[in-house]
A and B are shown apart, each in its own frame.
Chain A
Amino acid sequence: MQNSRLISLIKKEFVLEFRQKSTLAGILVYIVATVFISALSFKKIIHPTVWNALFWTIFMFISVNVSGKSFMQETKGKALFNYLYYNPRQFILSKIAYNMLLMAVLSLLTFFFYSWFVGSMVQDLGMFLLALLFSSSAFSGVLSLMSAIASKANNNISLMAILSFPVLMPLLLVSVKLSKHAIDGLAWSVSYKYLLILMMLNFVVVALATLLFNYLWKE
Protein backbone atom coordinates (compact mmCIF):
# COMPACT_ATOMS: atom_id res chain seq x y z
CA MET A 1 0.00 0.00 0.00
CA GLN A 2 2.72 2.44 1.06
CA ASN A 3 4.92 1.66 -1.88
CA SER A 4 2.14 1.61 -4.42
CA ARG A 5 1.15 5.10 -3.23
CA LEU A 6 4.72 6.28 -3.77
CA ILE A 7 4.91 4.76 -7.22
CA SER A 8 1.57 6.25 -8.21
CA LEU A 9 2.82 9.66 -7.01
CA ILE A 10 5.94 9.34 -9.16
CA LYS A 11 3.74 8.27 -12.05
CA LYS A 12 1.59 11.33 -11.49
CA GLU A 13 4.65 13.57 -11.79
CA PHE A 14 5.55 11.99 -15.11
CA VAL A 15 2.03 12.22 -16.43
CA LEU A 16 1.86 15.89 -15.47
CA GLU A 17 5.20 16.57 -17.10
CA PHE A 18 4.37 14.77 -20.34
CA ARG A 19 0.93 16.29 -20.54
CA GLN A 20 2.60 19.67 -20.69
CA LYS A 21 5.18 18.87 -23.32
CA SER A 22 6.22 22.48 -23.69
CA THR A 23 8.22 22.51 -20.43
CA LEU A 24 10.17 19.38 -21.33
CA ALA A 25 10.79 20.63 -24.84
CA GLY A 26 11.83 23.95 -23.36
CA ILE A 27 14.46 22.25 -21.23
CA LEU A 28 15.81 20.34 -24.22
CA VAL A 29 16.10 23.52 -26.22
CA TYR A 30 17.76 25.16 -23.24
CA ILE A 31 20.37 22.38 -23.08
CA VAL A 32 21.13 22.41 -26.79
CA ALA A 33 21.25 26.19 -26.95
CA THR A 34 23.58 26.54 -23.95
CA VAL A 35 25.95 23.90 -25.26
CA PHE A 36 25.83 25.42 -28.74
CA ILE A 37 26.59 28.89 -27.41
CA SER A 38 29.56 27.60 -25.45
CA ALA A 39 30.79 25.65 -28.47
CA LEU A 40 30.55 28.77 -30.63
CA SER A 41 32.20 31.07 -28.14
CA PHE A 42 35.00 28.73 -27.16
CA LYS A 43 35.57 27.40 -30.70
CA LYS A 44 37.88 24.67 -29.47
CA ILE A 45 38.68 23.73 -25.90
CA ILE A 46 42.18 22.41 -25.44
CA HIS A 47 42.56 22.48 -21.72
CA PRO A 48 40.79 19.69 -19.76
CA THR A 49 40.28 21.95 -16.72
CA VAL A 50 38.37 24.46 -18.82
CA TRP A 51 36.35 21.69 -20.43
CA ASN A 52 35.46 20.34 -17.01
CA ALA A 53 34.60 23.71 -15.46
CA LEU A 54 32.39 24.69 -18.38
CA PHE A 55 30.58 21.38 -18.33
CA TRP A 56 29.76 21.59 -14.64
CA THR A 57 28.68 25.21 -14.88
CA ILE A 58 26.23 24.27 -17.62
CA PHE A 59 25.15 21.25 -15.63
CA MET A 60 24.49 23.33 -12.55
CA PHE A 61 22.32 25.86 -14.35
CA ILE A 62 20.37 23.13 -16.06
CA SER A 63 19.70 21.31 -12.82
CA VAL A 64 18.60 24.50 -11.07
CA ASN A 65 16.21 25.11 -13.97
CA VAL A 66 14.86 21.57 -13.97
CA SER A 67 14.64 20.45 -10.36
CA GLY A 68 14.34 23.98 -9.07
CA LYS A 69 10.86 24.40 -10.38
CA SER A 70 9.45 21.17 -8.97
CA PHE A 71 7.31 23.05 -6.47
CA MET A 72 6.67 26.09 -8.59
CA GLN A 73 3.40 24.83 -10.05
CA GLU A 74 1.93 24.23 -6.61
CA THR A 75 -0.85 26.74 -6.32
CA LYS A 76 -2.62 27.34 -3.02
CA GLY A 77 -5.46 24.98 -3.92
CA LYS A 78 -3.19 22.22 -5.14
CA ALA A 79 -1.02 22.49 -2.02
CA LEU A 80 -4.09 22.14 0.18
CA PHE A 81 -5.27 19.09 -1.77
CA ASN A 82 -1.85 17.46 -1.54
CA TYR A 83 -1.69 18.25 2.16
CA LEU A 84 -4.98 16.54 2.82
CA TYR A 85 -4.42 13.61 0.52
CA TYR A 86 -0.78 12.59 0.74
CA ASN A 87 1.78 11.69 3.34
CA PRO A 88 4.57 14.33 3.40
CA ARG A 89 7.35 11.76 3.36
CA GLN A 90 5.95 10.02 0.30
CA PHE A 91 5.28 13.32 -1.36
CA ILE A 92 8.84 14.66 -1.09
CA LEU A 93 10.31 11.23 -1.89
CA SER A 94 8.24 11.09 -5.05
CA LYS A 95 9.39 14.57 -6.05
CA ILE A 96 13.03 13.66 -5.40
CA ALA A 97 12.77 10.34 -7.21
CA TYR A 98 11.13 11.97 -10.20
CA ASN A 99 13.75 14.72 -10.30
CA MET A 100 16.54 12.18 -9.97
CA LEU A 101 15.26 10.17 -12.93
CA LEU A 102 14.70 13.27 -15.02
CA MET A 103 18.08 14.76 -14.16
CA ALA A 104 19.86 11.47 -14.84
CA VAL A 105 18.44 11.45 -18.37
CA LEU A 106 19.01 15.17 -18.92
CA SER A 107 22.59 15.09 -17.63
CA LEU A 108 23.38 12.23 -20.00
CA LEU A 109 21.82 14.25 -22.82
CA THR A 110 23.87 17.30 -21.82
CA PHE A 111 27.02 15.23 -21.83
CA PHE A 112 26.10 13.80 -25.22
CA PHE A 113 25.51 17.20 -26.82
CA TYR A 114 28.52 18.68 -25.08
CA SER A 115 30.86 15.97 -26.36
CA TRP A 116 29.30 16.27 -29.79
CA PHE A 117 29.63 20.05 -30.12
CA VAL A 118 32.65 20.81 -27.97
CA GLY A 119 34.43 17.47 -28.21
CA SER A 120 34.99 14.92 -25.50
CA MET A 121 38.13 14.76 -23.43
CA VAL A 122 37.06 12.03 -21.04
CA GLN A 123 39.46 9.13 -20.81
CA ASP A 124 37.68 7.09 -18.18
CA LEU A 125 34.09 7.14 -19.40
CA GLY A 126 32.75 4.75 -16.74
CA MET A 127 34.00 6.87 -13.86
CA PHE A 128 32.74 10.05 -15.50
CA LEU A 129 29.26 8.63 -15.98
CA LEU A 130 29.20 7.45 -12.37
CA ALA A 131 30.19 10.92 -11.21
CA LEU A 132 27.51 12.43 -13.42
CA LEU A 133 24.84 10.05 -12.17
CA PHE A 134 25.57 10.46 -8.47
CA SER A 135 25.95 14.19 -8.61
CA SER A 136 22.79 14.67 -10.63
CA SER A 137 20.85 12.67 -8.06
CA ALA A 138 22.36 14.63 -5.15
CA PHE A 139 21.67 17.89 -6.97
CA SER A 140 18.04 16.97 -7.48
CA GLY A 141 17.71 16.05 -3.82
CA VAL A 142 19.03 19.41 -2.66
CA LEU A 143 17.10 21.38 -5.25
CA SER A 144 13.79 19.65 -4.51
CA LEU A 145 13.96 20.78 -0.88
CA MET A 146 15.19 24.26 -1.82
CA SER A 147 12.33 24.56 -4.29
CA ALA A 148 9.90 23.58 -1.55
CA ILE A 149 11.38 26.28 0.69
CA ALA A 150 11.27 28.90 -2.05
CA SER A 151 7.68 28.00 -2.91
CA LYS A 152 6.69 28.69 0.71
CA ALA A 153 8.47 32.04 0.55
CA ASN A 154 6.33 33.61 -2.18
CA ASN A 155 7.83 31.57 -5.03
CA ASN A 156 10.60 33.95 -5.79
CA ILE A 157 12.90 32.70 -8.58
CA SER A 158 15.91 34.72 -7.50
CA LEU A 159 15.43 33.46 -3.96
CA MET A 160 15.77 29.93 -5.34
CA ALA A 161 19.21 30.76 -6.73
CA ILE A 162 20.32 32.58 -3.58
CA LEU A 163 19.27 29.68 -1.38
CA SER A 164 20.57 26.82 -3.46
CA PHE A 165 23.89 27.98 -4.92
CA PRO A 166 25.86 28.10 -1.66
CA VAL A 167 24.36 24.81 -0.51
CA LEU A 168 25.19 23.14 -3.83
CA MET A 169 28.79 24.30 -3.74
CA PRO A 170 30.26 21.44 -1.67
CA LEU A 171 28.55 18.95 -3.96
CA LEU A 172 29.74 20.73 -7.06
CA LEU A 173 33.34 20.85 -5.91
CA VAL A 174 33.40 17.12 -5.20
CA SER A 175 31.87 16.37 -8.60
CA VAL A 176 34.31 18.66 -10.38
CA LYS A 177 37.22 16.97 -8.66
CA LEU A 178 35.94 13.48 -9.40
CA SER A 179 35.18 14.18 -13.04
CA LYS A 180 38.60 15.81 -13.44
CA HIS A 181 40.09 12.52 -12.29
CA ALA A 182 37.94 10.69 -14.83
CA ILE A 183 39.02 13.07 -17.59
CA ASP A 184 42.66 12.51 -16.77
CA GLY A 185 42.04 8.78 -16.62
CA LEU A 186 43.43 8.37 -13.12
CA ALA A 187 43.23 5.01 -11.38
CA TRP A 188 40.05 4.18 -9.48
CA SER A 189 42.05 3.81 -6.29
CA VAL A 190 42.66 7.58 -6.39
CA SER A 191 39.06 8.60 -6.99
CA TYR A 192 37.02 6.08 -5.05
CA LYS A 193 36.96 8.24 -1.90
CA TYR A 194 35.31 11.08 -3.81
CA LEU A 195 32.76 8.63 -5.16
CA LEU A 196 32.12 7.47 -1.60
CA ILE A 197 31.63 11.07 -0.48
CA LEU A 198 29.17 11.68 -3.31
CA MET A 199 27.18 8.61 -2.31
CA MET A 200 27.25 9.67 1.33
CA LEU A 201 26.08 13.16 0.38
CA ASN A 202 23.25 11.59 -1.62
CA PHE A 203 22.17 9.67 1.43
CA VAL A 204 22.46 12.67 3.75
CA VAL A 205 20.55 14.95 1.39
CA VAL A 206 17.65 12.55 0.88
CA ALA A 207 17.45 11.74 4.59
CA LEU A 208 17.47 15.41 5.59
CA ALA A 209 14.95 16.35 2.93
CA THR A 210 12.47 13.68 4.02
CA LEU A 211 12.91 14.64 7.66
CA LEU A 212 12.63 18.38 7.18
CA PHE A 213 9.90 18.49 4.56
CA ASN A 214 7.39 17.44 7.18
CA TYR A 215 7.77 20.85 8.81
CA LEU A 216 7.56 22.82 5.58
CA TRP A 217 4.41 21.01 4.71
CA LYS A 218 2.15 22.45 7.39
CA GLU A 219 0.65 25.77 6.51
Chain B
Amino acid sequence: MIKWWKILSALLILYTLVWGMLGSVPRLDILNETIRNVYYHVPIWFAMLFQMGYSVVYAIKQLSKNDLKTDIISNQAAETGLFFALPGLLTGCMWAKFTWGTWWTFQDPKLNGVAIAILIYLAYFILRSSIDDEQKRARIAAVYNIFAFVMMFVFIMILPRLTDSLHPGNGGNPAFAKYDMNSDMRMIFYPAVIGWVLLSLWILDVKKRLALLRHKQNEQ
Protein backbone atom coordinates (compact mmCIF):
# COMPACT_ATOMS: atom_id res chain seq x y z
CA MET B 1 0.00 0.00 0.00
CA ILE B 2 1.32 3.42 -0.91
CA LYS B 3 1.49 5.83 1.97
CA TRP B 4 -0.13 9.24 1.65
CA TRP B 5 3.09 11.23 1.99
CA LYS B 6 4.57 9.47 -1.02
CA ILE B 7 1.68 10.67 -3.17
CA LEU B 8 2.06 14.12 -1.64
CA SER B 9 5.76 14.16 -2.51
CA ALA B 10 5.07 13.24 -6.15
CA LEU B 11 2.34 15.86 -6.42
CA LEU B 12 4.44 18.59 -4.84
CA ILE B 13 7.42 17.90 -7.10
CA LEU B 14 5.18 17.81 -10.16
CA TYR B 15 3.62 21.10 -9.10
CA THR B 16 6.99 22.77 -8.58
CA LEU B 17 8.38 21.38 -11.83
CA VAL B 18 5.50 22.86 -13.83
CA TRP B 19 4.95 26.11 -11.94
CA GLY B 20 8.67 26.59 -11.42
CA MET B 21 8.95 26.97 -15.17
CA LEU B 22 5.67 28.85 -15.77
CA GLY B 23 5.39 31.08 -12.72
CA SER B 24 6.50 34.69 -12.69
CA VAL B 25 9.87 35.58 -11.18
CA PRO B 26 11.46 38.96 -10.41
CA ARG B 27 13.78 40.25 -13.13
CA LEU B 28 17.18 40.59 -11.51
CA ASP B 29 20.51 41.51 -13.08
CA ILE B 30 22.92 38.63 -13.74
CA LEU B 31 20.47 36.06 -12.35
CA ASN B 32 17.71 36.69 -14.91
CA GLU B 33 15.69 33.53 -15.49
CA THR B 34 18.24 31.29 -13.77
CA ILE B 35 16.62 32.30 -10.51
CA ARG B 36 14.17 29.46 -11.22
CA ASN B 37 16.96 27.09 -10.26
CA VAL B 38 16.27 28.02 -6.65
CA TYR B 39 13.28 25.65 -6.84
CA TYR B 40 15.52 22.69 -7.68
CA HIS B 41 19.06 23.39 -6.49
CA VAL B 42 18.28 24.51 -2.95
CA PRO B 43 15.62 21.86 -2.09
CA ILE B 44 17.93 19.10 -3.34
CA TRP B 45 20.64 20.26 -0.95
CA PHE B 46 18.09 20.45 1.83
CA ALA B 47 17.14 16.86 1.05
CA MET B 48 20.79 15.82 1.19
CA LEU B 49 21.41 17.57 4.51
CA PHE B 50 18.21 16.04 5.84
CA GLN B 51 19.44 12.55 4.93
CA MET B 52 22.86 13.18 6.48
CA GLY B 53 21.11 14.34 9.63
CA TYR B 54 18.92 11.23 9.57
CA SER B 55 22.03 9.10 9.24
CA VAL B 56 23.66 10.77 12.24
CA VAL B 57 20.56 10.38 14.40
CA TYR B 58 20.60 6.65 13.69
CA ALA B 59 24.33 6.52 14.34
CA ILE B 60 23.68 7.95 17.80
CA LYS B 61 20.87 5.42 18.29
CA GLN B 62 23.24 2.67 17.22
CA LEU B 63 25.75 3.66 19.89
CA SER B 64 23.15 3.79 22.63
CA LYS B 65 21.18 0.67 21.65
CA ASN B 66 23.75 -1.46 19.85
CA ASP B 67 21.15 -2.76 17.41
CA LEU B 68 22.34 -3.77 13.94
CA LYS B 69 19.14 -2.51 12.33
CA THR B 70 19.88 1.09 13.29
CA ASP B 71 23.30 0.72 11.69
CA ILE B 72 21.71 -0.47 8.46
CA ILE B 73 19.31 2.49 8.45
CA SER B 74 22.15 4.90 9.17
CA ASN B 75 24.17 3.51 6.27
CA GLN B 76 21.22 3.63 3.88
CA ALA B 77 20.46 7.25 4.81
CA ALA B 78 24.09 8.21 4.15
CA GLU B 79 23.89 6.52 0.74
CA THR B 80 20.67 8.35 -0.08
CA GLY B 81 22.23 11.64 0.98
CA LEU B 82 25.26 11.07 -1.21
CA PHE B 83 22.92 10.20 -4.07
CA PHE B 84 21.26 13.60 -3.69
CA ALA B 85 24.64 15.34 -3.75
CA LEU B 86 24.97 14.50 -7.43
CA PRO B 87 21.94 16.41 -8.79
CA GLY B 88 22.69 19.12 -6.23
CA LEU B 89 26.17 19.53 -7.66
CA LEU B 90 24.98 19.37 -11.27
CA THR B 91 22.30 22.02 -10.83
CA GLY B 92 24.77 24.11 -8.86
CA CYS B 93 27.45 23.85 -11.54
CA MET B 94 24.99 24.85 -14.24
CA TRP B 95 23.81 27.79 -12.22
CA ALA B 96 27.37 28.87 -11.48
CA LYS B 97 28.25 28.68 -15.17
CA PHE B 98 25.49 31.06 -16.17
CA THR B 99 25.83 33.55 -13.32
CA TRP B 100 29.44 33.49 -12.12
CA GLY B 101 30.82 32.38 -15.48
CA THR B 102 32.52 29.22 -14.27
CA TRP B 103 31.52 25.64 -13.51
CA TRP B 104 33.49 25.46 -10.31
CA THR B 105 35.46 27.86 -8.16
CA PHE B 106 37.65 27.29 -5.14
CA GLN B 107 36.91 30.75 -3.83
CA ASP B 108 33.58 29.82 -2.38
CA PRO B 109 33.47 28.17 1.06
CA LYS B 110 30.16 26.46 0.32
CA LEU B 111 31.52 24.75 -2.77
CA ASN B 112 34.58 23.62 -0.83
CA GLY B 113 32.33 22.47 1.98
CA VAL B 114 30.30 20.33 -0.38
CA ALA B 115 33.39 18.79 -1.94
CA ILE B 116 34.65 17.91 1.52
CA ALA B 117 31.27 16.57 2.61
CA ILE B 118 31.34 14.20 -0.35
CA LEU B 119 34.90 13.14 0.51
CA ILE B 120 33.85 12.53 4.11
CA TYR B 121 30.99 10.26 3.13
CA LEU B 122 33.14 8.39 0.62
CA ALA B 123 35.63 7.84 3.45
CA TYR B 124 32.72 6.61 5.58
CA PHE B 125 31.83 3.97 2.99
CA ILE B 126 35.47 2.93 2.61
CA LEU B 127 35.73 2.57 6.38
CA ARG B 128 32.62 0.41 6.41
CA SER B 129 33.90 -1.85 3.69
CA SER B 130 37.23 -2.39 5.41
CA ILE B 131 35.73 -3.98 8.54
CA ASP B 132 34.32 -7.48 8.29
CA ASP B 133 32.76 -8.02 11.67
CA GLU B 134 29.20 -6.65 11.63
CA GLN B 135 28.96 -5.51 15.24
CA LYS B 136 32.36 -3.87 15.13
CA ARG B 137 31.59 -2.19 11.82
CA ALA B 138 28.34 -0.78 13.18
CA ARG B 139 30.06 0.78 16.18
CA ILE B 140 33.13 2.19 14.44
CA ALA B 141 31.15 3.54 11.49
CA ALA B 142 28.76 5.25 13.89
CA VAL B 143 31.66 6.91 15.71
CA TYR B 144 33.14 8.21 12.47
CA ASN B 145 29.73 9.29 11.23
CA ILE B 146 29.05 11.43 14.30
CA PHE B 147 32.51 12.98 14.38
CA ALA B 148 32.58 13.71 10.66
CA PHE B 149 29.08 15.18 10.70
CA VAL B 150 30.00 17.67 13.41
CA MET B 151 33.13 18.77 11.52
CA MET B 152 31.15 19.04 8.28
CA PHE B 153 28.46 21.04 10.02
CA VAL B 154 31.07 23.50 11.24
CA PHE B 155 32.43 23.72 7.74
CA ILE B 156 29.17 24.24 5.87
CA MET B 157 27.23 26.26 8.40
CA ILE B 158 29.72 28.36 10.35
CA LEU B 159 32.72 29.09 8.14
CA PRO B 160 30.79 30.57 5.16
CA ARG B 161 29.28 33.12 7.50
CA LEU B 162 32.72 34.37 8.39
CA THR B 163 34.25 34.75 4.97
CA ASP B 164 33.07 36.20 1.73
CA SER B 165 31.08 33.84 -0.37
CA LEU B 166 29.69 34.04 -3.86
CA HIS B 167 26.56 32.45 -2.51
CA PRO B 168 23.64 34.71 -1.71
CA GLY B 169 23.21 35.73 1.86
CA ASN B 170 26.96 35.70 2.47
CA GLY B 171 28.58 38.04 0.00
CA GLY B 172 27.42 41.15 -1.77
CA ASN B 173 26.01 39.82 -5.02
CA PRO B 174 22.47 40.10 -6.29
CA ALA B 175 20.30 37.16 -5.40
CA PHE B 176 17.38 35.90 -3.48
CA ALA B 177 18.12 37.31 -0.10
CA LYS B 178 14.97 37.41 1.96
CA TYR B 179 13.71 40.51 0.19
CA ASP B 180 14.48 39.22 -3.29
CA MET B 181 12.22 36.22 -3.21
CA ASN B 182 8.70 37.51 -3.64
CA SER B 183 5.61 35.79 -2.37
CA ASP B 184 4.94 34.11 -5.73
CA MET B 185 8.31 32.40 -5.53
CA ARG B 186 7.81 31.39 -1.93
CA MET B 187 4.59 29.63 -2.92
CA ILE B 188 6.72 27.36 -5.08
CA PHE B 189 9.93 27.25 -3.07
CA TYR B 190 8.52 25.95 0.23
CA PRO B 191 6.43 23.18 -1.38
CA ALA B 192 9.52 22.25 -3.39
CA VAL B 193 11.56 21.85 -0.20
CA ILE B 194 8.88 19.66 1.38
CA GLY B 195 8.47 17.69 -1.85
CA TRP B 196 12.15 16.90 -2.29
CA VAL B 197 12.66 16.01 1.36
CA LEU B 198 9.68 13.65 1.15
CA LEU B 199 11.10 12.15 -2.03
CA SER B 200 14.39 11.48 -0.26
CA LEU B 201 12.44 9.80 2.54
CA TRP B 202 10.64 7.69 -0.05
CA ILE B 203 13.90 6.54 -1.59
CA LEU B 204 15.26 5.84 1.88
CA ASP B 205 12.15 3.86 2.75
CA VAL B 206 12.58 1.56 -0.24
CA LYS B 207 16.33 1.15 0.31
CA LYS B 208 15.84 0.56 4.00
CA ARG B 209 13.24 -2.16 3.49
CA LEU B 210 15.43 -3.92 0.96
CA ALA B 211 18.49 -3.77 3.21
CA LEU B 212 16.57 -4.99 6.25
CA LEU B 213 15.15 -7.92 4.24
CA ARG B 214 18.66 -8.83 3.11
CA HIS B 215 19.84 -8.65 6.69
CA LYS B 216 17.02 -10.96 7.77
CA GLN B 217 17.84 -13.39 5.00
CA ASN B 218 21.50 -13.49 6.02
CA GLU B 219 20.58 -14.19 9.60
CA GLN B 220 18.58 -17.31 8.75
Which residues of A pack against B, CB within 8 Å?
142, 145, 149, 152-154, 156, 159, 162-163, 165-167, 169-171, 173-174, 177, 193-194, 197, 201, 204, 208-209, 212, 215-216, 218-219
Contacts and interface: CB of A to CB of B under 8 A. Distances in A.
Contacts of A177: 163
Nearest to B159: A170
Contacts of B162: 193-194, 197
A201 B155 CA distance: 11
A165 B119 contact: yes
Given A170-B116, A170-B155, A212 B146 contact: yes
B154 A170 contact: yes
B127 A153 contact: yes
Given A153-B130, A159-B126, A169 B155 contact: yes
B139 A156 contact: no
A64 to B, nearest CB: 14
B190 interface: no
B136 interface: yes
Nearest to A145: B147
Interface of B: 63, 109, 112, 116, 119-120, 123, 126-127, 130-131, 136, 139-140, 142-144, 146-148, 150-152, 154-155, 158-159, 162-163
A193 B161 CA distance: 11
Given A149-B144, A156-B130, A167-B147, A162 B139 contact: no
Q: Looking at chain B's contact residues, is the secondary structure mostly helix, strand, loop, or mixed? A: helix
Nearest to A213: B143
A190 B148 CA distance: 29
Contacts of A142: 151
Given A156-B130, A159-B126, A166 B119 contact: yes
B106 to A, nearest CB: 11
A138 to B, nearest CB: 10
B144 A197 contact: no
List the 6 shortest-distance A-B pairs measured between CB atoms, nearest first.
A166-B119, A170-B155, A166-B120, A212-B143, A162-B123, A169-B116
A149 B140 contact: yes
Contacts of B151: 142, 167, 170-171
Nearest to A211: B146
Contacts of A152: 131, 136, 140
B142 A167 contact: no
A193 B159 CA distance: 11
A167 B148 contact: yes
Contacts of B150: 204, 208
A193 B116 CA distance: 23
Nearest to A207: B150
Nearest to B138: A215
